[in-house]
């Protein structure tokens, strides 16, 4: 393997980005796997993300086998596993990060343009066969949707592994409620490796050079070279031009797509993969859904094999068997955290039996028929809310697909935030949670809605998947009852006989009863929702959202939960 460090890529405004290129020693033209992002290409996975590395190595030893792991980076491919198969791996430090100078403005049109130009540069090098694939996790997946929207000539395929798509709905405002994830992420993972840290930053273990450039800029100079991400998001509470500039143009996403999502990635690593699969205009597209931590399977044999079959077909014209790959590949989840591989022909699964369970306020139950007698139950608008449960299930029941709820709600104030959690309990009352993308105690499914954002897009909405415009909020009149359709993100679980399904309607984020945990790259402790919490007091002032919420059921207000039941 030949390694070229800090290769210059000059973009259209004269800025010189820096890339590391790993390529076969033999002369020839090879397909390219390219990544572009802000995590600093010279920062090793092991040093930058030690707790994530240790968990992956312990749980998936195949992920670190067969490699010296000298060139491992966070959320991108290991060149030692790709270059021997005839690929060139190109890693680019995004503008303002690592060894690339400039102003950091994540997912912005300027950054997307840089990424597009890097794709075209890679496709035109003497060692390139002209076909470039994008492959990476999270950040390196989100920006793939944006680059694909620009349709660069040399882009031949994308593998979007656990990447959000819609900047508003998937990333910054869940159901119209702001998440503070990006505020903390920016400080922990981006500004910590900003260009200009120089001698104060880490060093590349392979070359000994400064990971964050050779300039030693002051904190004031570095602050001037990065957009205040949290403030930018806070200033745009609706789905406006700021958010649309950072979201895909689905009609332009025509490149072959492998979209891989995580059942436990409810805050960031789930919705974009299923929606992206459905909405992309690509004629050749596949969906894969799995569990476990959001980085491990990407590096494990399972993920690498899947990625190589996909890229071998589209970048090398090899017979990898991909022509026979069904459109949908699902890891069906069981309550003991094991999975069963199954293929389907479409998403949602065509044979889905859409099953309504009706809320009964009088008994706190979920029933197959709406209660004949109207009822209501109240709760604190910023409290733990109320929960409705089924009786013990008479048979094993598989729930796989998107969910939704229709609720009839009134508030004593001008608004209300609804946090919906689908939960499962064993016969002894123990809640079933899972290792999610990040949080080890992730519930079965979650959904959110700010009541003033109840307006639906009639063209995009489906009964099982309401789609809100988030552009025309309408305050509530205290005491009036409103019909709200709430999107609950997709899930997959075979619920055994004797277990119970529950719907919690809350006024704040879900919290698991067990002890909190932490990852080294995250600021907040994880208590069930990982870092994807909604705790901005400016976005949720108590005088507006801390009123009394009344949930109506039965009669002419049949509140209900819609489940995607899969027949045996």
Q: CB of 494 within 8 A of CB of 398?
A: yes
Asked, for residue 256, whether it belongs to a domain, the answer is no
Domain that holds residue 503: 353-566
CATH of the domain at 480: 2.60.120.260
The answer on 438 and 299 residing in a single domain is: no
CB-neighbour burial class of residue 351 (10 A; exposed 0-12, middle 13-18, buried 19+):
exposed
Asked, for residue 283, whether it belongs to a domain, the answer is no
The answer on 396 and 309 residing in a single domain is: no
Asked, for residue 495, whether it belongs to a domain, the answer is yes
The answer on 503 and 394 residing in a single domain is: yes
Q: Identify the CA nearest to 149 among candidates 162, 129, 167.
A: 167
The answer on 128 and 228 residing in a single domain is: yes
Asked, for residue 168, whether it belongs to a domain, the answer is no
Asked, for residue 251, whether it belongs to a domain, the answer is no
The answer on 147 and 192 residing in a single domain is: yes
The answer on 318 and 380 residing in a single domain is: no
Give 240-309 as a 3 state SS string.
CHHHHCCCCCHHHCCCCEEEEEECCCCCCCCHHHHHHHHHCCCCCEEEEEECCCCCHHHHCHHHHHHHHH
Q: In what order do the strands lie in the sheet with 16-23?
A: 2-10, 16-23, 88-93, 30-37, 128-137, 155-161, 257-262, 285-290, 328-333, 339-344
- pLDDT, residue 490, reads 98
CATH of the domain at 202: 3.40.50.1820
Asked, for residue 64, whether it belongs to a domain, the answer is yes
The answer on 146 and 201 residing in a single domain is: yes
User: What are the tokens at 436?
Assistant: 């999610």
The answer on 358 and 316 residing in a single domain is: no
Q: CB of 179 within 8 A of CB of 267?
A: yes
Cβ of 418: how many Cβ atoms within 10 Å? 24
The answer on 192 and 318 residing in a single domain is: yes
CA distance 98 to 392: 54
The answer on 386 and 319 residing in a single domain is: no
The answer on 536 and 405 residing in a single domain is: yes
Prediction pTM value:
0.97
- pLDDT, residue 277, reads 98
CA distance 505 to 161: 31
Asked, for residue 245, whether it belongs to a domain, the answer is no
Task: Report how many domains make up the chain.
Answer: 2
User: What are the tokens at 472?
Assistant: 């025309």
- pLDDT, residue 361, reads 98
CA distance 540 to 154: 45
> At which of 325, 341, 363 does a domain end?
325
Please list the ranges in the chain whose pLDDT falls under 70: none
For residue range 83-121, list pLDDT tens digits in order. Answer: 999 999 999 999 999 999 999 999 999 999 999 999 999
- pLDDT, residue 380, reads 98
Asked, for residue 340, whether it belongs to a domain, the answer is no
The answer on 315 and 438 residing in a single domain is: no
- pLDDT, residue 520, reads 81
- pLDDT, residue 161, reads 98
In 3-state terms, what secondary structure has residue 566? Answer: strand
């Amino acid at each position: 393997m030949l390694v070229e460090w800090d290769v210059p890529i000059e973009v259209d405004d004269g800025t010189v980005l820096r890339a590391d290129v790993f390529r076969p020693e033999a002369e020839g033209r090879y397909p390219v796997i390219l990544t572009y992002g802000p995590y600093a290409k010279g920062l090793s996975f092991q040093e930058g993300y030690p707790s994530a590395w240790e968990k992956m190595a312990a749980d998936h030893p195949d992920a670190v086998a067969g490699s010296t792991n000298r060139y491992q980076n966070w959320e991108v491919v290991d060149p030692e596993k790709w270059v021997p198969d005839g690929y060139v791996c190109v890693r680019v430090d995004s503008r303002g990060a690592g060894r690339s100078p400039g102003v950091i403005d994540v997912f912005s049109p300027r950054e997307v343009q840089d990424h597009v130009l890097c794709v075209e540069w890679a496709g035109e090098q003497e060692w390139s066969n002209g076909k470039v694939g994008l492959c990476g996790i999270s950040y390196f997946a989100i920006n793939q949707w944006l680059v694909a929207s620009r349709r660069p000539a040399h882009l031949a395929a994308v593998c979007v592994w656990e990447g959000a798509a819609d900047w508003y709905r998937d990333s910054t405002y869940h159901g119209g409620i702001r998440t503070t994830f990006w505020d903390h992420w920016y400080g922990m993972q981006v500004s910590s490796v900003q260009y200009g840290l120089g001698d104060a930053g880490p060093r590349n273990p392979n070359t000994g050079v400064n990971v964050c450039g050779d300039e030693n800029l002051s904190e004031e100079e570095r602050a001037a070279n990065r957009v205040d991400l949290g403030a930018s998001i806070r200033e745009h509470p609706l789905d406006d031009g700021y958010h649309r500039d950072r979201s895909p143009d689905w009609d332009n996403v025509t490149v072959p797509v492998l979209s891989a999502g995580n059942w436990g990635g409810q805050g960031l690593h789930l919705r974009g993969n299923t929606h992206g699969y459905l909405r992309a205009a690509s004629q050749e597209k596949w969906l894969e859904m799995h569990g476990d931590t959001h980085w491990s399977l990407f590096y494990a044999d399972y993920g690498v094999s899947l990625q190589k079959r996909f890229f071998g077909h589209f970048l090398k014209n090899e017979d990898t068997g991909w022509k026979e790959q069904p459109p949908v590949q699902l890891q069906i989840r069981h309550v003991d955290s094991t999975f069963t591989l199954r293929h389907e022909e479409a998403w949602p699964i065509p044979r889905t039996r859409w099953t309504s369970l009706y809320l009964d306020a009088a008994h706190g139950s979920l029933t197959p028929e709406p209660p004949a007698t109207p009822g209501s139950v109240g709760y604190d608008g910023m409290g733990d809310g109320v929960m409705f449960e089924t009786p013990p299930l008479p048979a094993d029941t598989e729930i796989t697909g998107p969910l939704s709820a229709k609720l009839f709600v009134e508030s004593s104030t001008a608004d209300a935030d609804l946090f919906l959690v689908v939960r499962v309990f064993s016969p002894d009352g123990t809640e079933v949670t899972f290792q999610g993308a990040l949080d080890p105690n992730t519930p079965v499914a979650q959904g959110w809605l700010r009541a003033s954002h109840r307006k639906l897009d009639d063209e995009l909405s489906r009964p099982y998947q309401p789609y809100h415009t988030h552009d025309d909020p309408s305050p509530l009149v205290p005491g009036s009852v409103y019909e709200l359709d709430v999107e609950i993100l997709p899930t997959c679980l075979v619920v055994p006989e004797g277990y119970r399904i529950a719907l919690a309607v809350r006024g704040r984020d879900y919290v698991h009863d067990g002890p909190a945990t932490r990852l080294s790259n995250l600021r907040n402790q994880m208590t069930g929702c990982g870092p994807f919490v909604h705790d901005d007091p400016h976005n949720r002032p108590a005088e507006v959202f801390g009123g009394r919420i009344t949930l109506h059921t039965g009669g002419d207000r049949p509140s209900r939960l819609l489940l995607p039941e899969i027949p045996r």
